[in-house]
Amino acid sequence: MGLYDCDVRALLDEIAAPSPGPGAGAVSAVVTAMAAGLIASAARRSPAWAEARGVAAQAQSLRARVERLAEANQDAYLEALALIESAVDTGGRDAAIGKALDTAAELPLAIAECAYDVSLLGVEAATNAAPGGAEDAAAAAMLAEAAARAAASLVAANLISMPGDNRVAQAEQLAAAATDAARRAVAATAQR
């Protein structure tokens, strides 16, 4: 069953099950998709905001992208685990592990990028959305920040055997920028 083929309770049960998937990468993507949904809702509830329709459309686009990343991440993670477990203790095993970890770093990096973009959109909505929606947008920016941080940690964990890989620094920069955006979103609602 895919991540989006079950209800919320079933998804939560699946996450809590003693199986490896869905793991932190897929969950980070789902949280990012939820945050994007909150922003779309906030924009749609703000008829006086001239850019609301555009922000809602951007949020929906990000949501669709990160939903695909969640499923791709879960599939890649489970494939990597199976590949690592089935590789023989030869040079082939090292190459298989390296390839699996390289792939396992790319998807969390893409999730971190989406989470950062969602956090930026959260600032825009927190600044301009109608009351109630603005607070939801600020909360969405904070959720996206947490997802960016989690995804960045996965990039680092998956590339620990590849010191100096610039994707680790890139993921950390995205997470730090998402933190800055979340702070600005919260500050925007406090100033209203």
Domains delineated in the chain: 8-190 (1.20.120.680)
Give CA–CA dist 117/147, Å, rounded: 11
Sequence-distant (6+) residues with CB within 8 A of 112 are 147, 148, 151, 152, 155, 171, 174, 175, 178
Q: pLDDT tens across 40-84, in order?
A: 999 999 999 999 999 999 999 999 999 999 988 888 888 777 777
Per the structure block, which two tokens stand in for 6? 């079950």
Predicted TM-score (pTM) above 0.85: yes
Per the structure block, which two tokens stand in for 80? 């990597």
Under the banding of pLDDT at 50, 70 and 90, the label for residue 6 is: low
Q: pLDDT tens across 136-177, in order?
A: 999 999 999 999 999 999 999 888 877 788 999 999 999 999
